[in-house]
Structure 1
């Protein structure tokens, strides 16, 4: 991922901020921090709520088995792939949502929903991701309660939130890159596990598309906030941060294997993850992307 760790020029940073904010306003609409909603994006979720899609036939995952392992740190060793997948889906957004809530609680994040600050949109998007993942699980017949991340993840998140911005941003970039890789793995596995019923799979794809587009934008925004030394630090920290995140969700290791998971994070093609979606954010055109920082 050499491009992600190449610094932007001051002109590129200013252009990125302007274009990304305009994109967020157009795609999401007006942010309402009190309700964690957007004026435009709510229409998508209202349609989802009005037209639920569910798998038919015997459940692929038992609600009782899911509930039992959802509250555990380490799942049982004999769980099948659909159950492990469901547990990964349930736990993946815990960290980011906890981080948004914690940052607001301690006053290190924008409290008033400033529509001129991209982090306002990013924070609300994380709440939408919880809603999306809950709907994903409903497609396969499961209900999910949102729980806090593991104690290790909580410690990592709290540390990141309290660090000076210059030190915390490299960790945030690493976390966002890891998130893109994890969601891509989950989407690919869904295509493998649930291909027998195209309609429900299409709904899962539709929901995941919202997350993939958001997360790739988050990666580019985090990158735009860093200078050359910060990006160098992020590149060095990526495997450490990724392991710290995934260690809190052992289901990922059981479903994908430790080595493969880390390989996917380290070689993740972030832009390719959102390329299939026409509403994705394109940070720079080819000419601008190739221009080196001074």
Structure 2
């Protein structure tokens, strides 16, 4: 397989199959979701939809919520940010024009599928996702990512992808631990989050490959700050993950090998940040 962006494009075609931008479909991803739907997994835990809805609208969760509820709220709030970015990009045709590189179309479609993957996590517990905008600061970061000219914003977008990898991986680990007594539930959470993580690692590499060496240095510099920002803007994460350990992780160099360890799919990094 080739290296760099050419190699990444080959990887995307192999992993995702044919891209249908008009109908927002990737052929191989449709096969994955068909398997999910034909083999539903349901938790025996009872999660109160009304409590979930009320806290989804809150900036900070009410005191006394269970770790399971905090995990599901964190999942839903990450979905809010993903949906907000995807919908903005689609509304303005950011990555869908005929002049856009094909890999950008694939990346946008992968982000579209991430919203479905996160919604399926909630579906395990019978929860209906309520569409609402993410917090103000997250909205501004997403807008910056979508509307800033590529050459000005690519380093910030790349740093955000790096931070997103860590957040998704941390929640994946938390979910596995919380539902270890329900092996099928833990395995389904693991599978859904790993699909996202595999994509996000590729997005990091793509951003790094489009950056100059100076811009990659900015990516590395911004990464821990954006990771802390994401955790503050999703306070449920701060209650689920040890703050000092998370900060120590963010202060270390971005570790693709650790993030990729145990993933069922091969990952591809077009360039290291």
TM-score normalized by the length of structure 1: 0.84
Question: Which residue of 22, 27, 32 corresponds with 2:15?
Answer: 27
Question: Which residue of 44, 52, 60 corresponds with 1:74?
Answer: 60
For 2:34, the equivalent position in structure 1 comes to: 46
Distance 1:129 1:114, change over 3 A: farther
Secondary structure at the counterpart of residue 41 of structure 1? helix
Compute the displacement of 1:142 (Å). 2.1
Give the distance between the partners of 1:94 and 1:119, measured in 2 at CA.
Answer: 21
Give the distance between the partners of 1:35 and 1:148, measured in 2 at CA.
Answer: 24
Q: Is the 8 A contact 2:95 2:108 kept in 1?
A: no
Larger mean CA deviation between 36-45 and 233-242 belongs to 233-242
Compute the displacement of 1:257 (Å). 4.1
> CA RMSD, aligned part only?
2.3
Write out per-residue CA displacement over residues 234-282 of structure 1, whole angstroms, 9 at most, x where no aligned residue.
2222233223333221111222243333333333523322232242223
**Any gaps of 5 or more consecutive residues in structure 1?**
1-13, 290-294
Larger mean CA deviation between 200-209 and 176-185 belongs to 200-209
Give the distance between the partners of 2:263 and 2:119, measured in 1 at CA.
Answer: 21
Write out per-residue CA displacement over residues 45-73 of structure 1, whole angstroms, 9 at most, x where no aligned residue.
011111101123x41x3222111101212
1:105 matched to 2:56? The reply is no
TM-score normalized by the length of structure 2: 0.90
1:196 matched to 2:181? The reply is yes
For 1:55, the equivalent position in structure 2 comes to: 43
Write out per-residue CA displacement over residues 4-43 of structure 1, whole angstroms, 9 at most, x where no aligned residue.
xxxxxxxxxx831111111111111111223321112201
Write out per-residue CA displacement over residues 156-208 of structure 1, whole angstroms, 9 at most, x where no aligned residue.
22123332322201111111111111111111111211010112211212222
Compute the displacement of 1:148 (Å). 1.9
Question: Which residue of 254, 260, 280 corresponds with 2:245?
Answer: 260
For 1:148, the equivalent position in structure 2 comes to: 133
Q: How many pairs are equivalent?
A: 270
For 1:83, the equivalent position in structure 2 comes to: 69
Give the distance between the partners of 1:112 and 1:32, measured in 2 at CA.
Answer: 13
Larger relative contact order (C-alpha < 8 A, sep ≥ 6)? 1
Query: How does 1:151-230 map onto structure 2 within 5 Å?
Result: 151-230=136-215
**Any gaps of 5 or more consecutive residues in structure 2?**
none
For 2:227, the equivalent position in structure 1 comes to: 242
For 1:281, the equivalent position in structure 2 comes to: 267
Distance 1:283 1:237, change over 3 A: closer
Secondary structure at the counterpart of residue 196 of structure 1? coil
Give the distance between the partners of 1:198 and 1:238, measured in 2 at CA.
Answer: 34
Compute the displacement of 1:154 (Å). 0.9
